[in-house]
Structure 1
């Protein structure tokens, strides 16, 4: 069910929510958190709401969408309430803010925060320079950004590192979960000789490649080279005396893990959708210290524009056999 409330007030919207709860039997007892989405009112708003709805099936919540409209328009609040099948397992309140009201989005969200539940903030597009200091970020214990949505993803990550506060995270980090798990698992198997150096190959505008390189630099304390080539995250090579450990994704959803003394193994390395990454971030309420150290490791990474490893991905179209 979708109810539109044009040119309204936060008080009227809250009363409508209460009336819906009384008439329809909807309750907030099952909501485990409040997710506040700060974005601009554009064609992508619906896709953002859909991603939040999908994530809410694992984490029932109230979703508050702060969609900022034209600041030169007259001051106006257009609201929309979504419940039932139009809201996944959540309760969605869309607030479209126009005129000077667009600069006071946090104040508009406060009346709709669920009492005694954690608050998460998500910026699907360009985030503020310092999410923790932003008025919306100050409402939340967890703040989710997405460097891949920035005009300059690499610079955005450096900004995240400079302004990091406990509770910050980024969807570019969540996209690495499978890669990090596979690499950690490979290093837990014999032979146990140490890693001497690492090479991460990925597109020039791939923040996940940058974060993976920073993670390796921070935790392995070895030279790490970041090769800017291809599209997305293409390969990781860990050099050891016994031979390299290589995780390569030539194209599509399949990857190849190569280890000394073992046959090549096919692994699932599909690109994770936003709803998967968002759902993962909503599982934890504490600070992600591993992400914080990966941000610190960004300054330790050596950057290059050409790959020298025989495992390096060229343009994403070559087969694994051609690369090795």
Structure 2
């Protein structure tokens, strides 16, 4: 059921929600949270579609905030108005949906419009599919949420955006680029668990350029393993490979086609593992499962993009044969492992 309201108020929107529930014979709907989606008209459809799919797992009241201009003239631009599209039942996924279009001065007071529409005694999650603020916690709408979800992949400069996220991090912040690497992190952790005594020497993450998930994965490996990490570029799609150099041989997780990967461990046969690229709805549903601060994400983010090595490594110049000292077996093995990690 859909109810269109023009030049309305938050009170009238709440009344429309009650009327809509009564009309479909569902006076009470069990919703677990309020999801505030801050987007523009261009991306609103895709964002709401993803939120509707995620609501099958997390029934919620979805408030879509779209900031618009009423017209081209100064008079039209200054005219304050709030339009709303209220949806309940089959038109709203699992829960309720209110699409809010803000005009004029109302744009600067979006939090005052949203606040009366939040579910009482329920968590609030704020999601920016595109054009997220540099400091989500201090954004007027972001301040309403216990959890703030951004997507650095949609930024103009994704890698630089990671540095801004680290500088302004507040517990409760998270990013869909982090959720994208959850299967990678799980696979790599399981591979290392098979060899608990393995000492990792270095890590390399390969993926398409301008994909912040690659930087996040490399920072996570460097932070958790305490080893140098390198970020290299491939043609994609997305992330394509992770190589861990260990004293017992390499561990390689390689995905060429975006759906199935090959896990290679020294001394074991290669194995095919499912590692598909996930849709936005799956990523959002994952982030809605936990509303507490993600300390692992915080630690990886604050490791710092600038500490990662990038591009192919360059070998040190070899000394002349007459000047080269004899190497101990351990030193020779370490050099061989370093060369292998550099792809030589």
Q: TM-score if structure 1 supplies the norm length?
A: 0.91
Secondary structure class of the residue paired with 1:111: helix
Residue matched to 2:329: none
1:143-169 CA-to-partner distances (Å, cap 9, x unmatched) read: 000001111110111111110000010
1:247-268 CA-to-partner distances (Å, cap 9, x unmatched) read: 1111231111111111111111
Distance 1:220 1:4, change over 3 A: same
1:97-120 CA-to-partner distances (Å, cap 9, x unmatched) read: 111211221111011100000111
Matching residue within 239, 249, 253 for 1:247:
253
Matching residue within 218, 221, 238 for 2:223:
218
Runs of 5+ consecutive residues of structure 2 not aligned to the other structure: 315-338
What is the Cα deviation at residue 26 of structure 1? 2.6
1:16-57 CA-to-partner distances (Å, cap 9, x unmatched) read: 1122233333345510011011112x2321111110000000
Secondary structure class of the residue paired with 2:84: strand
What is the Cα deviation at residue 307 of structure 1? 7.1
Residue matched to 2:274: 268
Q: Work out the CA distance in 1 between the residues paired with 2:62 and 2:121.
A: 15
Distance 1:14 1:299, change over 3 A: same
Report matched runs for 1:1-324 at 5 Å: 1-40=1-40, 42-70=41-69, 73=77, 74-190=79-195, 192-231=197-236, 232-299=238-305, 301-306=307-312
- Single out whichever of 175-184 and 102-111 deviates more from structure 2: 102-111
Does the 8 A contact of 1:256 with 1:264 survive in 2? yes
Q: Work out the CA distance in 2 between the residues paired with 1:57 and 1:130.
A: 30
Q: Work out the CA distance in 1 between the residues paired with 2:218 and 2:235.
A: 16
| Structure 1 segments of 4+ aligned residues over 3 angstroms from their partners | 306-312
Q: Work out the CA distance in 1 between the residues paired with 2:306 and 2:199.
A: 19
Q: TM-score if structure 2 supplies the norm length?
A: 0.86
Q: Work out the CA distance in 1 between the residues paired with 2:309 and 2:28.
A: 50
What is the Cα deviation at residue 218 of structure 1? 0.7
Q: Work out the CA distance in 1 between the residues paired with 2:182 and 2:240.
A: 15
Does the 8 A contact of 1:8 with 1:78 survive in 2? yes
Larger Rg belongs to: 2
Does the 8 A contact of 2:208 with 2:235 survive in 1? yes
What is the Cα deviation at residue 303 of structure 1? 2.8
Q: Work out the CA distance in 2 between the residues paired with 1:301 and 1:203.
A: 19
Q: Work out the CA distance in 1 between the residues paired with 2:161 and 2:306.
A: 17
Runs of 5+ consecutive residues of structure 1 not aligned to the other structure: 313-322
Secondary structure class of the residue paired with 1:44: helix
Does the 8 A contact of 1:217 with 1:301 survive in 2? no
Does the 8 A contact of 1:226 with 1:301 survive in 2? no
Residue matched to 1:315: none
Does the 8 A contact of 1:142 with 1:169 survive in 2? yes
What is the Cα deviation at residue 229 of structure 1? 3.0
1:203-239 CA-to-partner distances (Å, cap 9, x unmatched) read: 2201100100110111101111111332321111000
Q: Work out the CA distance in 2 between the residues paired with 1:175 and 1:206.
A: 11
Over the residues paired in the alignment, what is the CA RMSD in angstroms?
2.0
Distance 1:89 1:310, change over 3 A: farther
Distance 1:191 1:118, change over 3 A: closer
Does the 8 A contact of 2:3 with 2:16 survive in 1? no
Distance 1:225 1:23, change over 3 A: same
Q: Work out the CA distance in 1 between the residues paired with 2:128 and 2:261.
A: 30
Distance 1:100 1:268, change over 3 A: same
More helix by share: 2
